[in-house]
Chain A
Amino acid sequence: MKRALHPGLVATLVILVLLPFTFPNSYFFDVAIRVGLSAIAAIGLNLLMGFAGQVSIGHAGFLGIGAYASAILTSSYGWPPLAAMLGAAVLVALLAFLIAKPMLKLKGHALTIATLGFGIIVLIVLTNEGRWTGGPDGMSVGPLAVAGWQLGNEKQWYVLVALLLLVAIRLSLNLYDSPAGRALRALHGAEVAAKVAGIDTAAYKVRAFVISAVFASVAGSLTAHYSGFITPGLAGFLRSIELATMVVVGGMASTFGAVIGAALLTVLPQLLGGLESYEMVAFGLILMLTMIFLPRGLVPTLRERLRRAGK
């Protein structure tokens, strides 16, 4: 329970180091980077959904704000990218804190619908405030540069995203086994019990919401610099659903589940590309079957089966 070197983390490190040697071209690097960026957002969302059991289908809103705040602060105000990323995260944290208090008083479906509403509002603002965001046509974003050194090709991006992904996994694993992580999981498992154990459940929900929004914001900022061009679709409803699906398919409360969910939902559409117009049908079917046969999500169900097989 208290290992400094988590076996899953070591395995991820090994995979991340070896993976590039199997990549025949830069397209594979591109897919891997997108998996990593989504995984960072999904790990964050998992803190809210998987740990605390509060379902959000508006988190792409925070991702979009992070992306656009980075883009606007760097291009219109000349902020250095890192400072802009930090500024975006602070802005998103404040916003998340402000809307969390009234929203998290809602329970179950009502909360989910409220997050959906939030996502829609962000999308509309990004689309309509053309003089800042370029409107539906989107806007270009400068490259990520730190102290004069610029991240140019996919390989450098791969290294950066891989490192950040490892950090995100470590933070999430740390939290899982900490008093605060247990408090979040307890309010998911039996909220009344958490309350009588002295846990301020309302405050923890707000904190989980804010932290998960910050993860999304950072992922958004990075996505903006990596893509070099962003459109409001980044904050769209489908993107929010995708993030939530990554968490659920991978396995609620499982950090590696969020990573595997992100990989699956990013890679699968690429593999199914050959099916052309039936791509989304096959995609939907795979998700349905996953949920029917692995209702707790990939990682928890498989872990359980392995444990049973080991006995």
Chain B
Amino acid sequence: MLEIRNLTRTFGGVTAVQEVSFRIRAGTIHSVIGPNGAGKTTLFNLITGLYQPSSGQILLEGESIGGHPPDELARRGMSRTFQNLQICMNMSALENVMVGAHMRQNQGLLAGMARLGKLVRAERACAAECVELMNFVGVGRYVDADASQLPYGALKRLEIARALAAKPKLLLLDEPAAGLNHTETQEIDVLIKKVAAAGVTVVLVEHDMKLVMNISDHILVLNYGKKLAEGTAQEVRANPEVIAAYLGGAAAH
């Protein structure tokens, strides 16, 4: 589904991502882990077109997409959430989710101003669909609320609902459990499994190891922008280099 080849991105003198290569198979849950500053979010921003790669290739279903604008990548079936929430606080919770469905709607300004019957019907169907998505991610009770009234945990889910409204083939979640309490994290765990079961390929960046080990089919470990290890949960957990990176050099030996 997604293939990364020798991807590198430098900021001035700092190499945030260096010669990283990996593959993501369709229908799997794939996690990217690593200490703070390992380049995880940079990697996400490269894949979703927010950053231009310095070198290397990104292939989505065999086609090179490195450096293509984010809205085009969205039309190719990519969707994501953000570590630092990107919610439109000037809109209602439901409208935020409906923004996610934008690509499937009549996008014309004049069509919007005329608001003919066809558009009204499409809007109703879209709103109903988005309410269902809000129920699916567990924020159904906020359907009538403004986004600014939602608690942090609900906003995280609202972002997932917005991303799902685009009907993506590939969903990238940037720290979906960050800032959530234990119960909320478990709920997110269930939610991600539900999303994957619906046929969406999921890639996530996450610090919560319990969550990562629990749900990932495949894990990629980054450290200082480089690939440190890759494999299933057991393989990664047993890898001495990974243990060293997380616990410090002394603990590895």
Contacts and interface: CB of A to CB of B under 8 A. Distances in A.
Interface of A: 1-2, 171-172, 174-175, 177-183, 185-186, 188-190, 192-201, 204, 207-208, 211, 253
A198 B98 CA distance: 12
B39 interface: no
Given A186-B91, A198-B102, A179 B74 contact: no
Contacts of B124: 2
Interface string B60-92: 000000000111011100111010001111110
B88 A186 contact: yes
B95 interface: yes
Nearest to B108: A180
Nearest to A253: B90
Contact of A193 (B98, B99, B126): B99
A189 B50 CA distance: 17
B87 A185 contact: no
A174 B71 contact: no
B112 A197 contact: no
A175 B113 contact: yes
B90 A182 contact: no
Given A192-B50, A194-B99, A182 B91 contact: yes
B6 interface: no
A34 B119 CA distance: 34
26 contacts: A2-B123, A171-B114, A175-B112, A177-B123, A178-B106, A178-B111, A178-B112, A179-B123, A180-B108, A180-B109, A182-B91, A183-B99, A185-B95, A186-B96, A186-B99, A186-B102, A189-B90, A190-B87, A195-B69, A196-B70, A197-B71, A198-B74, A201-B71, A204-B109, A207-B109, A253-B90
B90 A188 contact: yes
B71 A195 contact: yes
Contact of B91 (A1, A189, A204): A189
B159 to A, nearest CB: 8
B86 A190 contact: yes
Interface in B108-130: 108-109, 111-115, 119-120, 123-124, 126-127
Contacts of B99: 182-183, 186, 193-194, 197, 199
Contacts of A201: 71
A69 to B, nearest CB: 22
B82 A179 contact: no
Contacts of A2: 120, 123-124, 127
